[in-house]
Amino acid sequence: MKNSHLDAPALPLRHLLLGLAVVAVWGTNFVVIKVALTHLPPLLFAALRFALALVPAAFFLPWPRVGWRNVAAYGVLIGVGQFGLLYIAMKGHITPGLASLVVQAQVFFTIGMALWRSGEKLRPFQWLALALATLGIAVIGVHTDGQTSALGLLLVLAAALAWACGNMLNKEAGRVNMLSYVVWASAFAVPPLLILSLWFEGWPAMAAGLRDADARTWAAVLWQSWGNTLFGYAAWGWLLARHPAASVTPLALLVPVFGMGAAALVLAEPLPGWKLLAAALVLFGLALNLLWPLLRQR
């Protein structure tokens, strides 16, 4: 009997390894973001990230075979919605390790929207998985302090919702050239990010950030543009175009493993008991959502 899209069939080994490579880049990337934010204002940083993803790649890649509205909406959601909000949150409102954990709420947002569009309902194991993840985020909310605030938590949750909306647009686009899709979507991310940076951060702060940026800062920007955007989102979108969202998106449960580990090793971010408890609850919820359908198949 053929599996429905909710049965989350296992990915082929090569596709699984590709997904693992993406989440490894995304997880350790939170430390890279912190490096760039030392000198650059958040919205300007996001604009530079997508500008360098667009140029020079756009001169060598054709427009993807999908309507411009889809590409534009994806660019705004990922550029402004996901990364604009995430960078603002990480500029003193939430630690890199916790940001890498909370943003994985996108898994449940993505699957919830897929279920809503299909007219199907959450299954009992999905309700349990959602409850565990929500409890983990609630633990973080209770322990807001000088490094992590309620504002930071809300901003990252909003970024996760924008990411999930982008996932759905990406799936609607179908089997397009994902590298072209991501590159040309960046053209719609840069202008609003620059306008918002001028409006909220101001030209003096933008000019100071560009003047003070050192080699480490520009290396972080390039890693965001080429490693995270061109490789990460192109590969992720390629997987989403070929497999059910419920099979691909739960792989993101490994992002906070890499993120919190890298933050602890590189930035000496502390890992108190409450943070480990929150991570365990969120990761267990994500793992349950991934593994239960696979165990059912067996």
What DSSP character marks residue 38? T
CA distances from 236 to 81, 116, 129, 189, 231 (A): 18, 22, 23, 18, 8
For 88, the token pair is 């603002």
Domain of 159?
10-297
For 163, the token pair is 């990411």
Answer yes or no: is 4 within a domain: no
Answer yes or no: is 5 within a domain: no
Answer yes or no: is 260 within a domain: yes
Which residue, among 239, 224, 225, has the nearest Cα to 183 in the 3D structure? 225
* Alpha-carbon span 75 to 79, nearest angstrom: 6
pLDDT tens sequence across 223-248: 999 988 888 878 887 888 888 776 78
Cα-based angle 86, 105, 161 (whole degrees, multiple of 5): 60
Answer yes or no: is 119 within a domain: yes
Answer yes or no: is 176 within a domain: yes
Answer yes or no: is 1 within a domain: no
Q: Write down the pLDDT at residue 9.
A: 64
* Alpha-carbon span 209 to 207, nearest angstrom: 5
Answer yes or no: is 195 within a domain: yes
Answer yes or no: is 2 within a domain: no
pLDDT tens sequence across 103-132: 988 888 888 888 887 776 778 888 888 888
Q: Yes or no: say if 50 and 190 are a contact pair by the CB < 8 Å rule.
A: yes
Q: The pTM is what?
A: 0.85
Residue 82 has pLDDT above 90, yes or no: yes
* Alpha-carbon span 256 to 98, nearest angstrom: 8
Residue 257: pLDDT band by 50, 70, 90 thresholds?
Answer: confident
Number of domains into which the chain is organized: 1
